[in-house]
Amino acid sequence: MRSRQILRITFLLLFFSAANASAENSTEIYKRGARLAKSGKIDEAILIFKDVIAQNPYYSLGHYGLGKAYLFKKGMLYEAVRHLKLSVQLDRRFAGGYFYLGLAYYLYRKYPYAINAFDRAYRIDSNYIESILNIALIYEKMEKYVKAAQYFEMYKNIKRRRREGRLF
């Protein structure tokens, strides 16, 4: 009985240390891919992000990086949505993932989905103020001018309060 407990504990320690090492390796690889993407080497970045996902399919940033990179590739919008959606499913509090998912949905002309994603990004992190502006622009595109005006006004008020140093 005691030896079984020791075996279980040993197994759990090995399992969690391997998972942790994988996350560390995935993070370093992700950072390399992000640097490549920022320097305009999208095709190379895509290969790196695919490698990250191959190593750890449950790593939110890997899917985020790949989805974002696909936004820059013609004809890859469906894949961008798929990976950005996976990213936020794996990390429900990832505002950046929701923001770019909103952008992907917008480009895909799935406007209600884009509005929901942008709204979620702003609710998670109010630094994503551009989400409010994007929602206004989408409502305008949908010819829902009253809603568009409400969001434009909200955006304007938030910007003014931030300039004045007021939070509320």
Element (H, E) at 92: none
**CA 83/CA 96 separation, integer angstroms:** 13
Two tokens, residue 153: 């006004």
Burial class (CB in 10 A: 0-12, 13-18, 19+), 78: exposed
Q: In the predicted model, what is the mean pLDDT of residues 146-160?
A: 96
Whether residue 10 is predicted with pLDDT greater than 60 in this model: the reply is no
Quickly state the pLDDT bin for 168 (edges 50, 70, 90). low
Whether residue 1 is predicted with pLDDT greater than 80 in this model: the reply is no
Element (H, E) at 74: none
pLDDT of residue 8: 55
Quickly state the pLDDT bin for 4 (edges 50, 70, 90). low
CB 50 within 8 A of CB 36: no
Residue 9 CA: distances (Å) to CA of 12, 16, 22:
5, 11, 20
Q: In the predicted model, what is the mean pLDDT of residues 121-140?
A: 97
pLDDT tens sequence across 37-95: 999 999 999 999 999 999 999 999 999 999 999 999 999 999 999 999 999 999 999 99
What pTM was estimated for this model as a whole? 0.82
Quickly state the pLDDT bin for 27 (edges 50, 70, 90). confident
Q: In the predicted model, what is the mean pLDDT of residues 22-41?
A: 84
pLDDT of residue 14: 40
pLDDT of residue 164: 83
Give the list of residues 6+ apart from residue 96 with CB closer than 8 angstroms, or none.
64, 121, 128
